[in-house]
């Protein structure tokens, strides 16, 4: 039997348990190239993903040396210096937001990485796999390692834990 660890989080009326070791035992179809910590260090979401403050549920080490924006997204804080994400309101309109992860995919990924497993995993993994089409477009239109080519698409795949520096 797996040991469950209860996690305090900022959401009212939501509790989750960590049932897997951190960073291990992922679905075989889910093979992210970057950890949440690596993504944050590189620069994602304009430094402003959690509009209500950094959640205490994540390790402080994830945020060491990370440049964050206090009040709004700042594209200069993204690795490629461009805005590559839609608004949270648009995510909600498209039905991408679920109550257990009100901040979206990256929140799901952080919790999954820490060891939470949930009924939403299959949907989120399917969404993650769908981003590969952007990697194909980068490969088709750019020379390998040309980080100035398709910077918006490269930033977008970075938001999904793919490493655009390797494309």
pLDDT band at residue 6 using 50, 70 and 90 as cut-offs:
low
* Model confidence pLDDT, tens digit, residues 95-138: 889 989 999 999 999 999 999 999 999 999 999 999 999 999 99
155, part of any domain:
no
Q: Kindly report whether the global pTM for this prediction surpasses the value 0.85.
A: yes
75 and 47 Cβ atoms separated by less than 8 Å: no
Angle in degrees, 0-180, between the axes of helices 151-158 and 132-141, rounded to the nearest 10: 150
For residue 14, being part of any structural domain is answered with yes
Residue 121 confidence (pLDDT): 98
Rounded CA-CA distance 54/129 in Å is 27
Q: What is the pLDDT of residue 3?
A: 56
Domain hosting residue 101, numbered range? 5-133
- Residue 89 vs residue 61, higher pLDDT: 61
- Classify 7 as helix, strand or coil: strand
Q: Give CA–CA dist 127/141, Å, rounded.
A: 23
Q: Give the C-alpha distances (Å, rounded to integers) separating 149 from 100, 133, 156, 165.
A: 36, 16, 13, 11
**What is the C-alpha separation between 139 and 160, in angstroms, rounded?**
17
Pairwise pLDDT comparison (79 vs 52), residue with the higher score:
79
Question: Residue 5 — pLDDT band, cuts 50, 70, 90?
Answer: low
Note the pLDDT of residue 88: 83
Number of domains in the chain: 1
Query: How many CA atoms lie within 13 Å of 71's alpha carbon, on the beta-carbon side?
Result: 0
- Asked whether residue 12 carries a pLDDT value surpassing 80, the answer given is no
The stretches of 11-120 forming alpha helices (DSSP H) are: 36-42, 88-93, 105-114
> What band does 1 get if pLDDT is binned at 50, 70 and 90?
very low
CB 109 within 8 A of CB 37: no
């Amino acid at each position: 039997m797996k040991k469950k660890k209860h996690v305090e989080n900022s959401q009212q009326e939501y509790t989750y348990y960590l049932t897997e070791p951190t960073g291990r035992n992922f679905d075989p179809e889910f093979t992210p190239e970057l950890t949440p910590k690596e993504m944050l260090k590189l620069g994602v979401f304009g430094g402003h993903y959690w509009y209500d403050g950094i959640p205490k549920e994540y390790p402080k080490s994830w945020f060491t040396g990370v440049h964050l924006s206090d009040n709004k997204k700042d594209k200069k804080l993204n690795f490629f210096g461009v805005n590559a994400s839609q608004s949270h309101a648009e995510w909600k309109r498209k039905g991408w937001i679920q109550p257990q992860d009100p901040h979206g995919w990256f929140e799901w990924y952080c919790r999954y990485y820490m060891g939470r497993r949930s009924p939403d995993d299959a949907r989120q993994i399917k969404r993650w796999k769908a981003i590969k089409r952007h990697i194909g477009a980068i490969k088709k239109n750019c020379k390998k390692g040309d980080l100035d080519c398709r910077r918006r698409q490269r930033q977008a795949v970075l938001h999904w834990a793919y490493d655009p520096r390797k494309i």
